[in-house]
Amino acid sequence: MASYLVIGSNSFSGAGFVDYLLSQGIDTVGVSRSEEVAMPFRIYAWDRRDAAFNFHRIDLNHDLDALMALIDRERPSRIVNFAAQSMVGESWQHPDHWMMTNVVSAVRLHERLRHLDFLEKYVHVTTPEVYGSTEGWVREDCHFQPSTPYAVSRAAGDMSLRSFHEAYAFPVLFTRAANVYGPGQQLYRILPRTILYALTGKRLQLHGGGYSTRSFIHVRDVAAATYLVAEHGRLGDTYHISTTKSVTIRDLVAGILRKLGLDIDACVEEVGERLGKDNAYMLDTGKIRAELGWSDEISLESGIRQTIDWVRENLTALQQLPQSYVHKP
């Protein structure tokens, strides 16, 4: 059985992927720059698993030698990297921080990894933000047109990895998932934030009126897709992970509020649009469905109900935790 090391295991998608690996009976090593997240966000700790999870606090920006020492000891055949500075709007405030983490530190890591003879697959979890706002459903060969410092940094990291694959046969695979959601997501994201604010009587700010279009996908479906890519994907290839349905942010929020017996006009405040925000991300997923036999299984309706239940069950604890993004350089 392949051995896995997950970089960025504290991230929402990273924690969801760790949980998926443990549910498959795969012992997993996790790395993040902060201590393990609070229990309401620690998805892999909610259910008892027979497989073991071994966590290490290592900052990619400052502790590369420690990370490589760990990798040399564990000798994983698969490394899946979720680590990134990932907030879009905030990337305008400190663009150099985004470039340092998503480009410079990433390239330093890849330069060290390319010399390892035991590494068979390196899954680079990236973003559709590199495409800019899409017109219709786009495939994996869509050209890059990033519109924010975050997107530029991710595009640069992706392009560097492409060159490593072509020059050194570095065993990289790329995944791009749009708008991952589900129980355990950080409270500054739109789904949990809407639910938490509605349950606690706070008014939600809706940027630009909420008319941008997104396709939301459950974290469990993303984890299953990522595992298939890590096991069976073609080296050097990119795989989109998305549903085939889209919704405006406004309609999403209105639907959540209706489930809670509330009206959008009473709960939402419209504010100006964020700088550089893309209008739509629409990812064609024909490739991963045809090549790897993946399909999304959790409907948005079901996923919203799961997330509502999670917020209600953890409401007291969640109210004590940060509800806005806290930047760490």
> Model pTM?
0.95
- Is 207 domain-assigned? no
Q: For the chain, how big is the Rg over CA atoms in Å? A: 19
Percentage helix, strand, coil for the chain under 3-state DSSP, each rounded to 5: 45, 15, 40
User: How crowded is residue 323: how many other Cβ atoms within 10 Å of its Cβ?
Assistant: 16
What does the alpha-carbon distance between residue 24 and residue 19 come to, in Å, rounded to a whole number? 9
Asked if residue 151 is part of any domain, the answer here is yes
Total domains present in the chain: 1
Q: What is the CATH number of the domain that holds 92?
A: 3.40.50.720
Is 150 inside any structural domain? yes
Nearest to 29 by CA among 54, 66, 11, 59: 54
Q: Which residues pair with residue 4 across a beta bridge? A: 28, 78
* pLDDT value for 122: 98
Read off the tokens for 6: 């997950």
Q: Could you tell me the pLDDT band of residue 89, with boundaries at 50, 70 and 90? A: confident
Q: Which residues have C-beta within 8 Å of that of residue 241, sequence separation ≥ 6?
A: 175, 176, 177, 178, 217, 221, 222, 225, 226, 283, 285, 288, 294
Whether residue 82 is contained in a domain is answered as yes
Question: Residue 322 burial (CB < 10 Å; 0-12/13-18/19+)?
Answer: exposed
| Residues recorded for the chain | 329
Task: Give the model's pLDDT for residue 320.
Answer: 94
Identify the pLDDT of residue 108. Answer: 98
Predicted confidence band at 144 (pLDDT cuts at 50, 70, 90)? very high
User: Can you give the residue range of the structural domain that contains 95?
Assistant: 4-180+216-241
Give strand pairing partners of 30.
6, 55
| Cα–Cα dist 66/63, whole Å | 5
Task: Name the band, by pLDDT with cuts 50, 70 and 90, for residue 229.
Answer: very high
With respect to residue 311, please indicate whether it lies within any of the assigned structural domains: no
Q: What percent of the chain has pLDDT over 90?
A: 88
The answer to whether position 60 is within a domain reads yes
Residue-level pLDDT at 273: 80
Query: Does some domain include residue 272?
Result: no
| Confidence band for 284, pLDDT divided at 50, 70 and 90 | very high
The structure tokens listed for 298 are 């959790």
Q: Which amino acid is at 143?
A: H
Q: HSE-up of 321 (CA within 13 Å, CB side)?
A: 20
DSSP letter string, 207-243: EGGG--EE--EEHHHHHHHHHHHHHHPPTT-EEEE--
User: What pLDDT was estimated at residue 36?
Assistant: 97
97-113 pLDDT, tens digit each? 999 999 999 999 999 99
**What is d(CA 289, CA 241) in angstroms, rounded to the nearest whole number?**
9
Q: Residue 40 corresponds to which amino acid?
A: P
The beta strand positions in 163-296, using DSSP E, are 172-177, 180-181, 204-207, 213-214, 217-218, 238-241, 247-248, 268-271
pLDDT of residue 316: 97
Residue at 25 is within a domain: yes
What is the rounded average pLDDT of the residues 43-55?
96
The C-alpha atoms of residue 264 and residue 40 are separated, in whole angstroms, by 27
> Tokens for 174?
């790329």
Q: Write the pLDDT tens digit of every residue in 155-211.
A: 999 999 999 999 999 999 999 998 999 999 999 999 999 999 999 999 999 988 899
CA distances from 13 to 25, 143, 201 (A): 19, 25, 28
| C-beta of residue 238 within 8 angstroms of C-beta of residue 125 | no
Q: Pick the closest to residue 93 from 11, 175, 149 (CA basis).
A: 149
